[in-house]
Structure 1
Protein backbone atom coordinates (compact mmCIF):
# COMPACT_ATOMS: atom_id res chain seq x y z
CA UNK A 1 0.00 0.00 0.00
CA UNK A 2 2.80 2.39 0.90
CA UNK A 3 4.53 1.57 -2.39
CA UNK A 4 1.32 2.35 -4.32
CA UNK A 5 0.90 5.68 -2.52
CA UNK A 6 4.51 6.58 -3.29
CA UNK A 7 3.98 5.87 -7.00
CA UNK A 8 0.80 7.97 -7.07
CA UNK A 9 2.53 10.83 -5.27
CA UNK A 10 5.43 10.74 -7.74
CA UNK A 11 3.05 10.73 -10.71
CA UNK A 12 1.15 13.68 -9.25
CA UNK A 13 4.36 15.62 -8.78
CA UNK A 14 5.35 14.97 -12.40
CA UNK A 15 2.01 16.16 -13.77
CA UNK A 16 2.00 19.19 -11.46
CA UNK A 17 5.41 20.22 -12.75
CA UNK A 18 4.58 19.68 -16.41
CA UNK A 19 3.19 23.18 -17.14
CA UNK A 20 6.21 24.83 -15.56
CA UNK A 21 8.61 22.71 -17.62
CA UNK A 22 6.62 23.35 -20.79
CA UNK A 23 6.87 27.13 -20.42
CA UNK A 24 10.46 27.16 -19.20
CA UNK A 25 12.94 28.80 -21.56
CA UNK A 26 10.31 30.29 -23.87
CA UNK A 27 8.66 33.66 -24.17
CA UNK A 28 5.97 34.06 -21.48
CA UNK A 29 2.47 33.49 -22.83
CA UNK A 30 -0.43 35.82 -22.10
CA UNK A 31 -3.89 34.44 -21.27
CA UNK A 32 -6.11 34.56 -24.34
CA UNK A 33 -9.52 36.20 -23.74
CA UNK A 34 -11.29 33.50 -25.75
CA UNK A 35 -15.08 33.20 -25.69
CA UNK A 36 -16.49 30.61 -28.10
CA UNK A 37 -20.01 31.46 -26.96
CA UNK A 38 -19.76 35.03 -28.32
CA UNK A 39 -21.16 34.73 -31.84
CA UNK A 40 -20.17 38.28 -32.80
CA UNK A 41 -16.55 37.56 -31.85
CA UNK A 42 -16.61 34.28 -33.80
CA UNK A 43 -18.03 36.03 -36.88
CA UNK A 44 -15.31 38.69 -36.74
CA UNK A 45 -12.71 35.95 -36.29
CA UNK A 46 -14.10 34.04 -39.29
CA UNK A 47 -13.77 37.15 -41.42
CA UNK A 48 -10.16 37.65 -40.35
CA UNK A 49 -9.38 33.98 -40.94
CA UNK A 50 -10.78 33.94 -44.46
CA UNK A 51 -9.20 37.25 -45.47
CA UNK A 52 -5.75 36.85 -43.93
CA UNK A 53 -5.07 33.17 -43.14
CA UNK A 54 -6.86 31.19 -45.83
CA UNK A 55 -4.56 32.50 -48.56
CA UNK A 56 -1.76 30.15 -47.47
CA UNK A 57 -3.22 27.95 -44.73
CA UNK A 58 -6.09 25.58 -45.35
CA UNK A 59 -8.66 24.18 -42.93
CA UNK A 60 -9.48 20.94 -44.69
CA UNK A 61 -11.65 19.59 -41.87
CA UNK A 62 -13.99 22.58 -41.84
CA UNK A 63 -16.81 23.24 -44.30
CA UNK A 64 -18.08 26.72 -45.04
CA UNK A 65 -21.67 25.73 -44.28
CA UNK A 66 -20.64 24.91 -40.70
CA UNK A 67 -20.33 28.67 -40.20
CA UNK A 68 -24.12 28.71 -39.94
CA UNK A 69 -23.53 27.45 -36.39
CA UNK A 70 -22.10 30.87 -35.49
CA UNK A 71 -25.11 32.76 -36.80
CA UNK A 72 -24.28 33.26 -40.48
CA UNK A 73 -26.65 32.44 -43.34
CA UNK A 74 -25.77 30.74 -46.61
CA UNK A 75 -26.09 34.07 -48.42
CA UNK A 76 -23.79 35.85 -45.95
CA UNK A 77 -21.21 33.10 -46.28
CA UNK A 78 -21.44 33.11 -50.06
CA UNK A 79 -21.20 36.90 -50.40
CA UNK A 80 -18.59 37.68 -47.72
CA UNK A 81 -16.46 34.59 -47.04
CA UNK A 82 -16.54 32.30 -50.08
CA UNK A 83 -13.42 33.38 -51.99
CA UNK A 84 -11.56 30.12 -52.63
CA UNK A 85 -14.51 27.79 -53.24
CA UNK A 86 -17.60 27.61 -55.45
CA UNK A 87 -20.15 26.07 -53.08
CA UNK A 88 -21.02 26.68 -49.43
CA UNK A 89 -20.75 22.96 -48.74
CA UNK A 90 -17.08 22.77 -49.75
CA UNK A 91 -14.16 22.52 -47.33
CA UNK A 92 -11.82 25.42 -46.57
CA UNK A 93 -9.00 24.48 -48.90
CA UNK A 94 -6.54 26.69 -50.76
CA UNK A 95 -5.54 26.78 -54.42
CA UNK A 96 -1.80 26.80 -53.71
CA UNK A 97 -0.18 23.43 -54.33
CA UNK A 98 2.24 21.85 -51.81
CA UNK A 99 5.18 22.19 -54.25
CA UNK A 100 4.43 25.90 -54.72
CA UNK A 101 4.14 26.41 -50.96
CA UNK A 102 7.49 24.73 -50.36
CA UNK A 103 9.11 26.87 -53.04
CA UNK A 104 7.65 30.09 -51.60
CA UNK A 105 8.08 29.43 -47.86
CA UNK A 106 10.56 26.55 -47.61
CA UNK A 107 7.86 24.30 -46.16
CA UNK A 108 4.15 23.77 -46.66
CA UNK A 109 2.11 25.99 -44.29
CA UNK A 110 0.27 23.77 -41.79
CA UNK A 111 -3.43 23.08 -41.94
CA UNK A 112 -5.20 25.16 -39.27
CA UNK A 113 -8.23 22.94 -38.65
CA UNK A 114 -7.06 21.92 -35.17
CA UNK A 115 -4.16 24.33 -34.62
CA UNK A 116 -5.81 25.64 -31.44
CA UNK A 117 -5.69 22.12 -29.98
CA UNK A 118 -2.10 21.61 -31.11
CA UNK A 119 -0.67 24.93 -29.94
CA UNK A 120 -3.15 26.22 -27.37
CA UNK A 121 -5.11 29.48 -27.25
CA UNK A 122 -2.52 31.35 -25.15
CA UNK A 123 0.28 30.44 -27.57
CA UNK A 124 -1.71 31.59 -30.60
CA UNK A 125 -2.83 34.83 -28.92
CA UNK A 126 0.71 35.75 -27.86
CA UNK A 127 2.14 34.68 -31.21
CA UNK A 128 -0.19 36.96 -33.17
CA UNK A 129 0.83 39.91 -30.98
CA UNK A 130 4.62 39.49 -30.92
CA UNK A 131 5.73 39.93 -34.54
CA UNK A 132 8.46 42.49 -35.16
CA UNK A 133 10.55 43.74 -38.08
CA UNK A 134 13.79 41.83 -38.66
CA UNK A 135 15.75 42.63 -41.82
CA UNK A 136 17.98 39.59 -41.31
CA UNK A 137 15.04 37.31 -42.11
CA UNK A 138 13.98 36.57 -45.70
CA UNK A 139 10.40 37.63 -44.92
CA UNK A 140 11.52 40.74 -43.05
CA UNK A 141 9.71 39.56 -39.91
CA UNK A 142 10.45 37.61 -36.77
CA UNK A 143 8.46 36.53 -33.73
CA UNK A 144 9.19 36.34 -30.02
CA UNK A 145 7.13 33.20 -29.42
CA UNK A 146 8.38 31.43 -32.57
CA UNK A 147 11.92 32.71 -33.27
CA UNK A 148 13.07 32.50 -36.90
CA UNK A 149 9.51 31.80 -38.02
CA UNK A 150 9.07 31.38 -41.77
CA UNK A 151 5.68 33.09 -41.81
CA UNK A 152 5.49 36.86 -42.44
CA UNK A 153 3.26 39.06 -40.32
CA UNK A 154 0.05 38.89 -42.37
CA UNK A 155 -1.78 41.24 -40.00
CA UNK A 156 0.85 43.98 -40.10
CA UNK A 157 -1.47 46.44 -41.84
CA UNK A 158 -3.80 46.19 -38.86
CA UNK A 159 -1.13 46.31 -36.15
CA UNK A 160 1.47 48.44 -37.89
CA UNK A 161 5.19 47.80 -38.04
CA UNK A 162 7.14 47.38 -34.82
CA UNK A 163 10.76 46.81 -33.86
CA UNK A 164 11.77 44.73 -30.86
CA UNK A 165 14.26 46.17 -28.36
CA UNK A 166 16.66 43.83 -26.57
CA UNK A 167 19.10 44.36 -23.72
CA UNK A 168 22.18 42.30 -22.99
CA UNK A 169 22.29 40.79 -19.49
CA UNK A 170 24.49 38.22 -17.83
CA UNK A 171 22.95 34.97 -16.61
CA UNK A 172 24.98 32.10 -15.15
CA UNK A 173 28.16 33.65 -16.45
CA UNK A 174 26.86 34.02 -20.00
CA UNK A 175 25.59 37.08 -21.84
CA UNK A 176 22.05 36.71 -23.19
CA UNK A 177 19.63 39.05 -24.93
CA UNK A 178 16.44 39.89 -23.07
CA UNK A 179 13.36 41.41 -24.65
CA UNK A 180 12.89 45.00 -23.49
CA UNK A 181 9.76 46.11 -25.33
CA UNK A 182 8.51 47.18 -28.73
CA UNK A 183 9.07 50.38 -30.68
CA UNK A 184 6.27 51.38 -33.06
CA UNK A 185 7.77 52.16 -36.46
CA UNK A 186 4.56 52.89 -38.33
CA UNK A 187 0.92 52.95 -37.19
CA UNK A 188 -1.60 50.34 -38.19
CA UNK A 189 -5.24 50.62 -39.12
CA UNK A 190 -6.21 49.56 -35.61
CA UNK A 191 -5.25 50.86 -32.19
CA UNK A 192 -3.43 48.55 -29.77
CA UNK A 193 -6.68 47.72 -27.95
CA UNK A 194 -8.51 47.12 -31.23
CA UNK A 195 -5.74 44.88 -32.55
CA UNK A 196 -5.63 42.85 -29.34
CA UNK A 197 -9.40 42.35 -29.68
CA UNK A 198 -8.97 41.30 -33.32
CA UNK A 199 -6.32 38.76 -32.28
CA UNK A 200 -8.67 37.45 -29.57
CA UNK A 201 -11.50 37.15 -32.13
CA UNK A 202 -9.26 35.19 -34.51
CA UNK A 203 -8.07 32.85 -31.75
CA UNK A 204 -11.66 32.36 -30.59
CA UNK A 205 -12.62 31.28 -34.11
CA UNK A 206 -9.64 28.92 -34.34
CA UNK A 207 -10.62 27.43 -30.98
CA UNK A 208 -14.23 26.99 -32.12
CA UNK A 209 -13.13 25.56 -35.48
CA UNK A 210 -11.06 22.88 -33.73
CA UNK A 211 -14.32 21.55 -32.22
CA UNK A 212 -17.47 23.25 -33.52
CA UNK A 213 -19.68 21.15 -31.22
CA UNK A 214 -17.81 22.09 -28.05
CA UNK A 215 -20.45 24.49 -26.73
CA UNK A 216 -23.19 21.89 -27.25
CA UNK A 217 -20.98 19.31 -25.53
CA UNK A 218 -20.49 21.57 -22.52
CA UNK A 219 -24.20 22.33 -22.22
CA UNK A 220 -25.02 18.64 -22.52
CA UNK A 221 -22.41 17.86 -19.88
CA UNK A 222 -24.13 20.16 -17.39
CA UNK A 223 -27.46 18.39 -17.92
CA UNK A 224 -25.79 14.99 -17.55
CA UNK A 225 -24.21 16.02 -14.25
CA UNK A 226 -27.55 17.37 -12.99
CA UNK A 227 -29.26 14.11 -13.95
CA UNK A 228 -26.59 12.05 -12.20
CA UNK A 229 -26.94 14.22 -9.11
CA UNK A 230 -30.72 13.75 -8.95
CA UNK A 231 -30.40 10.04 -9.75
CA UNK A 232 -27.87 9.62 -6.94
CA UNK A 233 -30.32 11.08 -4.42
CA UNK A 234 -33.12 8.77 -5.58
CA UNK A 235 -30.80 5.74 -5.59
CA UNK A 236 -29.57 6.56 -2.09
CA UNK A 237 -33.10 6.89 -0.70
CA UNK A 238 -34.23 3.73 -2.55
CA UNK A 239 -31.30 1.82 -1.10
CA UNK A 240 -32.15 3.05 2.41
CA UNK A 241 -35.82 2.06 2.00
CA UNK A 242 -34.89 -1.39 0.70
CA UNK A 243 -32.55 -2.23 3.57
CA UNK A 244 -34.41 -0.57 6.45
CA UNK A 245 -36.20 -3.77 7.53
CA UNK A 246 -33.18 -6.01 7.10
CA UNK A 247 -31.65 -6.95 10.44
Structure 2
Protein backbone atom coordinates (compact mmCIF):
# COMPACT_ATOMS: atom_id res chain seq x y z
CA UNK A 1 0.00 0.00 0.00
CA UNK A 2 2.79 2.44 0.92
CA UNK A 3 4.47 1.76 -2.41
CA UNK A 4 1.39 2.88 -4.33
CA UNK A 5 0.98 5.96 -2.14
CA UNK A 6 4.57 6.98 -2.92
CA UNK A 7 3.98 6.46 -6.63
CA UNK A 8 0.81 8.56 -6.47
CA UNK A 9 2.57 11.48 -4.82
CA UNK A 10 5.44 11.16 -7.26
CA UNK A 11 3.01 11.54 -10.17
CA UNK A 12 0.83 14.28 -8.67
CA UNK A 13 3.42 17.08 -8.76
CA UNK A 14 4.15 16.18 -12.35
CA UNK A 15 0.51 16.73 -13.28
CA UNK A 16 0.25 20.03 -11.44
CA UNK A 17 3.64 21.37 -12.51
CA UNK A 18 3.43 20.15 -16.10
CA UNK A 19 5.37 22.54 -18.30
CA UNK A 20 3.31 24.08 -21.04
CA UNK A 21 6.12 25.92 -22.83
CA UNK A 22 9.01 24.39 -24.69
CA UNK A 23 11.82 26.71 -23.60
CA UNK A 24 15.48 26.12 -22.74
CA UNK A 25 16.06 25.50 -19.05
CA UNK A 26 18.73 27.30 -17.06
CA UNK A 27 21.24 25.19 -15.17
CA UNK A 28 20.67 25.18 -11.42
CA UNK A 29 24.26 24.12 -10.65
CA UNK A 30 23.30 23.51 -7.04
CA UNK A 31 25.55 21.66 -4.60
CA UNK A 32 24.14 19.18 -2.09
CA UNK A 33 27.40 19.32 -0.11
CA UNK A 34 26.91 23.06 0.54
CA UNK A 35 25.37 22.98 4.01
CA UNK A 36 24.91 26.76 4.21
CA UNK A 37 22.96 26.67 0.94
CA UNK A 38 20.75 23.86 2.23
CA UNK A 39 20.08 25.72 5.48
CA UNK A 40 19.09 28.88 3.63
CA UNK A 41 16.95 26.80 1.26
CA UNK A 42 15.15 25.25 4.23
CA UNK A 43 14.52 28.73 5.67
CA UNK A 44 13.15 29.99 2.35
CA UNK A 45 10.95 26.94 1.89
CA UNK A 46 9.45 27.14 5.37
CA UNK A 47 8.82 30.89 5.14
CA UNK A 48 7.54 31.17 1.56
CA UNK A 49 6.35 27.73 0.43
CA UNK A 50 5.29 25.72 3.45
CA UNK A 51 2.06 27.66 3.94
CA UNK A 52 0.62 25.76 0.97
CA UNK A 53 3.10 23.00 0.09
CA UNK A 54 4.09 20.33 2.57
CA UNK A 55 7.01 17.89 2.48
CA UNK A 56 5.13 15.21 4.35
CA UNK A 57 7.71 12.46 3.84
CA UNK A 58 10.32 14.46 5.75
CA UNK A 59 10.60 14.95 9.49
CA UNK A 60 11.72 18.15 11.17
CA UNK A 61 14.30 16.30 13.25
CA UNK A 62 15.82 14.46 10.28
CA UNK A 63 16.11 17.72 8.30
CA UNK A 64 17.73 19.47 11.26
CA UNK A 65 20.25 16.64 11.75
CA UNK A 66 21.11 16.37 8.05
CA UNK A 67 21.49 20.12 7.56
CA UNK A 68 23.43 20.76 10.76
CA UNK A 69 20.69 22.84 12.42
CA UNK A 70 20.51 22.56 16.23
CA UNK A 71 17.18 21.05 17.25
CA UNK A 72 16.26 23.96 19.50
CA UNK A 73 16.85 26.45 16.65
CA UNK A 74 14.84 24.26 14.27
CA UNK A 75 11.96 24.08 16.72
CA UNK A 76 12.06 27.81 17.46
CA UNK A 77 12.46 29.18 13.93
CA UNK A 78 11.28 26.61 11.39
CA UNK A 79 8.45 24.74 13.12
CA UNK A 80 5.53 27.17 12.92
CA UNK A 81 2.79 24.99 14.38
CA UNK A 82 3.09 25.24 18.18
CA UNK A 83 1.47 21.80 18.49
CA UNK A 84 4.05 20.10 16.26
CA UNK A 85 6.87 18.11 17.80
CA UNK A 86 10.41 18.03 16.46
CA UNK A 87 9.94 14.40 15.41
CA UNK A 88 6.73 15.04 13.44
CA UNK A 89 6.32 14.83 9.69
CA UNK A 90 6.45 18.18 7.88
CA UNK A 91 2.75 18.59 7.09
CA UNK A 92 0.90 21.90 6.97
CA UNK A 93 -2.54 22.88 8.17
CA UNK A 94 -4.07 24.22 4.95
CA UNK A 95 -7.53 22.64 4.43
CA UNK A 96 -7.50 20.56 1.24
CA UNK A 97 -11.01 21.59 0.16
CA UNK A 98 -10.30 25.25 0.79
CA UNK A 99 -7.00 25.02 -1.10
CA UNK A 100 -8.76 23.40 -4.05
CA UNK A 101 -11.27 26.27 -4.05
CA UNK A 102 -8.58 28.95 -3.83
CA UNK A 103 -6.12 27.52 -6.35
CA UNK A 104 -8.27 25.28 -8.52
CA UNK A 105 -6.50 22.17 -7.16
CA UNK A 106 -4.87 21.30 -3.84
CA UNK A 107 -1.20 22.40 -3.81
CA UNK A 108 0.91 19.25 -4.26
CA UNK A 109 3.30 17.87 -1.72
CA UNK A 110 6.84 18.87 -2.74
CA UNK A 111 8.91 16.12 -1.13
CA UNK A 112 9.59 14.49 -4.49
CA UNK A 113 9.07 17.40 -6.88
CA UNK A 114 12.79 17.80 -7.66
CA UNK A 115 12.99 14.14 -8.67
CA UNK A 116 9.86 14.40 -10.82
CA UNK A 117 10.47 17.75 -12.54
CA UNK A 118 14.26 18.06 -12.27
CA UNK A 119 16.29 20.78 -10.55
CA UNK A 120 16.85 22.78 -13.76
CA UNK A 121 13.09 23.00 -14.37
CA UNK A 122 12.44 24.18 -10.81
CA UNK A 123 15.26 26.72 -10.96
CA UNK A 124 13.99 28.17 -14.25
CA UNK A 125 10.34 28.06 -13.17
CA UNK A 126 10.90 30.03 -9.97
CA UNK A 127 12.74 32.73 -11.96
CA UNK A 128 10.15 32.97 -14.74
CA UNK A 129 7.14 34.63 -13.12
CA UNK A 130 5.96 37.93 -14.59
CA UNK A 131 3.13 40.37 -13.92
CA UNK A 132 -0.07 39.55 -15.82
CA UNK A 133 -3.22 41.38 -14.65
CA UNK A 134 -5.42 38.98 -16.60
CA UNK A 135 -4.54 36.09 -14.30
CA UNK A 136 -6.35 35.41 -10.98
CA UNK A 137 -3.19 36.01 -8.92
CA UNK A 138 -1.86 38.76 -11.19
CA UNK A 139 1.08 36.71 -12.48
CA UNK A 140 1.93 34.27 -15.24
CA UNK A 141 4.96 32.11 -15.91
CA UNK A 142 7.10 31.53 -19.01
CA UNK A 143 7.81 27.89 -18.17
CA UNK A 144 4.28 27.16 -16.96
CA UNK A 145 1.74 29.35 -18.84
CA UNK A 146 -1.52 30.05 -16.98
CA UNK A 147 0.14 29.08 -13.72
CA UNK A 148 -2.30 28.59 -10.86
CA UNK A 149 -0.21 29.91 -7.98
CA UNK A 150 0.95 33.37 -6.84
CA UNK A 151 4.54 34.55 -7.12
CA UNK A 152 5.37 33.93 -3.47
CA UNK A 153 8.96 35.18 -3.81
CA UNK A 154 7.94 38.55 -5.26
CA UNK A 155 9.05 40.50 -2.20
CA UNK A 156 12.54 39.11 -2.72
CA UNK A 157 12.68 39.58 -6.50
CA UNK A 158 10.54 42.67 -6.96
CA UNK A 159 7.78 42.98 -9.55
CA UNK A 160 8.87 41.12 -12.72
CA UNK A 161 7.54 42.49 -16.00
CA UNK A 162 7.50 40.58 -19.30
CA UNK A 163 9.93 41.16 -22.15
CA UNK A 164 8.31 40.41 -25.52
CA UNK A 165 9.88 39.01 -28.66
CA UNK A 166 8.91 37.26 -31.89
CA UNK A 167 8.45 33.51 -32.21
CA UNK A 168 7.41 31.25 -35.08
CA UNK A 169 4.25 29.24 -34.33
CA UNK A 170 2.76 27.05 -37.10
CA UNK A 171 4.67 29.03 -39.69
CA UNK A 172 3.45 32.38 -38.38
CA UNK A 173 5.44 34.97 -36.46
CA UNK A 174 3.74 35.82 -33.16
CA UNK A 175 4.64 38.03 -30.22
CA UNK A 176 5.43 36.11 -27.04
CA UNK A 177 7.14 36.55 -23.68
CA UNK A 178 10.83 35.66 -24.00
CA UNK A 179 12.13 36.97 -20.69
CA UNK A 180 11.52 39.17 -17.67
CA UNK A 181 12.97 42.23 -16.04
CA UNK A 182 12.36 43.43 -12.48
CA UNK A 183 11.55 46.91 -11.22
CA UNK A 184 14.23 46.88 -8.50
CA UNK A 185 11.79 46.97 -5.59
CA UNK A 186 12.75 43.53 -4.28
CA UNK A 187 14.84 42.87 -1.21
CA UNK A 188 17.47 41.15 -3.38
CA UNK A 189 19.22 42.12 -6.59
CA UNK A 190 19.14 39.77 -9.57
CA UNK A 191 22.26 37.80 -8.60
CA UNK A 192 21.17 37.47 -4.99
CA UNK A 193 17.70 36.34 -6.04
CA UNK A 194 19.15 33.71 -8.39
CA UNK A 195 21.31 32.43 -5.53
CA UNK A 196 18.31 32.35 -3.19
CA UNK A 197 16.31 30.32 -5.73
CA UNK A 198 19.30 28.00 -6.16
CA UNK A 199 19.36 27.44 -2.38
CA UNK A 200 15.63 26.68 -2.38
CA UNK A 201 16.02 24.20 -5.24
CA UNK A 202 19.01 22.69 -3.46
CA UNK A 203 16.82 22.01 -0.42
CA UNK A 204 14.08 20.48 -2.59
CA UNK A 205 16.62 18.19 -4.25
CA UNK A 206 17.82 17.11 -0.82
CA UNK A 207 14.21 16.49 0.29
CA UNK A 208 13.62 14.16 -2.65
CA UNK A 209 16.72 12.08 -1.91
CA UNK A 210 18.21 12.77 1.55
CA UNK A 211 20.85 10.03 1.26
CA UNK A 212 22.06 10.91 -2.25
CA UNK A 213 25.53 12.07 -1.18
CA UNK A 214 25.91 9.14 1.20
CA UNK A 215 24.84 6.72 -1.52
CA UNK A 216 27.28 8.20 -4.02
CA UNK A 217 30.12 8.06 -1.49
CA UNK A 218 29.26 4.45 -0.66
CA UNK A 219 29.22 3.65 -4.38
CA UNK A 220 32.94 4.44 -4.69
CA UNK A 221 33.70 2.06 -1.80
CA UNK A 222 31.57 -0.64 -3.41
CA UNK A 223 33.34 -0.20 -6.76
CA UNK A 224 36.71 -0.36 -5.01
CA UNK A 225 35.69 -3.53 -3.20
CA UNK A 226 34.52 -5.13 -6.46
CA UNK A 227 37.83 -4.31 -8.16
CA UNK A 228 39.85 -5.81 -5.30
CA UNK A 229 37.51 -8.81 -5.09
CA UNK A 230 37.84 -9.41 -8.84
CA UNK A 231 41.64 -9.38 -8.61
CA UNK A 232 41.54 -11.86 -5.73
CA UNK A 233 39.12 -14.14 -7.61
CA UNK A 234 41.34 -14.12 -10.72
CA UNK A 235 44.44 -14.93 -8.66
CA UNK A 236 42.57 -17.68 -6.81
CA UNK A 237 41.32 -19.13 -10.08
CA UNK A 238 44.86 -19.25 -11.44
CA UNK A 239 46.05 -20.97 -8.29
CA UNK A 240 43.34 -23.65 -8.46
CA UNK A 241 43.81 -24.27 -12.19
CA UNK A 242 47.60 -24.07 -12.27
CA UNK A 243 48.09 -27.85 -12.19
CA UNK A 244 45.32 -28.46 -14.73
CA UNK A 245 46.88 -26.16 -17.35
CA deviation digits over 1:148-188, x for unaligned, max 9? 00011100111111111212344553233343432323421
- For 1:65, which of 61, 77, 84 is the aligned residue? 61
- For 1:76, which of 68, 73, 76 is the aligned residue? 73
How many angstroms apart in 2 are the aligned matches of 1:75 and 1:169? 53
**CA RMSD, 1 decimal:** 1.9
Partner of residue 38, structure 1? 34
CA spacing shift, 1:190–1:31, aligned 2, 3 Å: same
CA spacing shift, 1:115–1:25, aligned 2, 3 Å: closer
Between structure 1 and structure 2, the one with the greater Rg is: 1
CA spacing shift, 1:209–1:180, aligned 2, 3 Å: closer
Match of 1:187, SS? coil
Partner of residue 46, structure 2? 50
Query: Which TM-score applies when normalising by structure 1?
Result: 0.86
Query: Which TM-score applies when normalising by structure 2?
Result: 0.87
How many angstroms apart in 1 are the aligned matches of 2:228 and 2:38? 35
User: Is there any run of 5+ residues in structure 1 with no aligned partner, and where?
Assistant: 1-22
Number of aligned positions between the proteins: 226
**Could you tell me whether the CA contact under 8 Å between 2:142 and 2:178 is conserved in 1?**
no
Match of 1:219, SS? helix
Match of 1:111, SS? coil
CA deviation digits over 1:71-99, x for unaligned, max 9? 01210111110103521111111111111
Using the TM superposition, give the Cα deviation of residue 138 of structure 1 relative to its aligned residue in structure 2, in angstroms.
0.6
Once the two structures are overlaid, the 10-residue window that deviates more, 177-186 or 128-137, is 177-186
Using the TM superposition, give the Cα deviation of residue 210 of structure 1 relative to its aligned residue in structure 2, in angstroms.
0.7
CA spacing shift, 1:170–1:74, aligned 2, 3 Å: closer
- For 1:120, which of 103, 118, 125 is the aligned residue? 118
Aligned ranges 1:148-187 → 2 under 5 Å: 148-187=146-185
